[in-house]
Structure 1
Amino acid sequence: MKPVVSALNAWSCVVISFFAIIILSILGSLFKSNHHSFTGSEGSPEDGAAVAGSIFTAVIVYAAFFVFCGFQAYLHTRANRRGAISLN
């Protein structure tokens, strides 16, 4: 199989997705537990569980990006080990 995206884009996507998954998971868990610093003021959302559901949906999307881009990075690494020449 040939990679669809460049190696730089694949590795950038892997790193960004990894950190997004970590940060959004922490934020989602804080909203789910109705932490006072996120749901305690007048401008804060009243239903922390609904906000957490939206954030966890974003985590799932970033996990899909992580898997796809990780596979693309693996294809680039495998092609470089075999000594394949890319004419892109």
Structure 2
Amino acid sequence: MKPVVSALNAWSCVVISLFAIVILSVLGSLYSVHESDPLRHQPAQRPGPHKAYSNNHAYTGSEDEPEDGPAVAASIYTAVIVYAGFFVFCGFQAFLHMRNSRGGAISLH
């Protein structure tokens, strides 16, 4: 089987996808984590259906938005799945380049 993309593009895609998976996973977990007291005994009790989720103004830019943190986390996790697909595809392309540079699947050296 021959690679579809060049070796440089394949390795660049692998590195970028890996960083995107890590960074987006952290962001998704920040949007889906429950707020708790400093000692982390129990979730904070606030009025409203979505106020129990952590929408920290440090990374959202506002204390009231987004209204549905778990929905934001779900869309971020969807992007993580897409980047995981890129990671697998580009990793396979990089593997094909490494195999072809050694003379194929079986080399008689």
TM above 0.5, one fold?
yes
Distance 1:23 1:81 in 2: 34
Q: What is the Cα deviation at residue 70 of structure 1?
A: 0.1
Q: What is the Cα deviation at residue 68 of structure 1?
A: 0.1
1:9 alignment counterpart: 9
- Tell me the secondary structure at the aligned position of residue 5 of structure 2: coil
Distance 1:81 1:41 in 2: 56
Instruction: Give the number of aligned pairs.
Output: 82
Given that residues 4 and 72 in structure 1 are in contact (C-alpha distance below 8 angstroms), is that contact kept between their aligned partners in structure 2? yes
1:47 alignment counterpart: 68
RMSD of aligned C-alpha atoms?
A: 1.5
Normalising to structure 2: TM-score of the pair? Answer: 0.70
Within the candidate set 70, 73, 77, 2:98 is matched to 77
Normalising to structure 1: TM-score of the pair? Answer: 0.86
Q: What is the Cα deviation at residue 38 of structure 1?
A: 4.1
Greater share of helix? 1
Identity within the alignment, %: 71
| Bigger mean CA deviation after superposition, 3-12 or 26-35 | 26-35
Q: Which has the larger radius of gyration?
A: 2
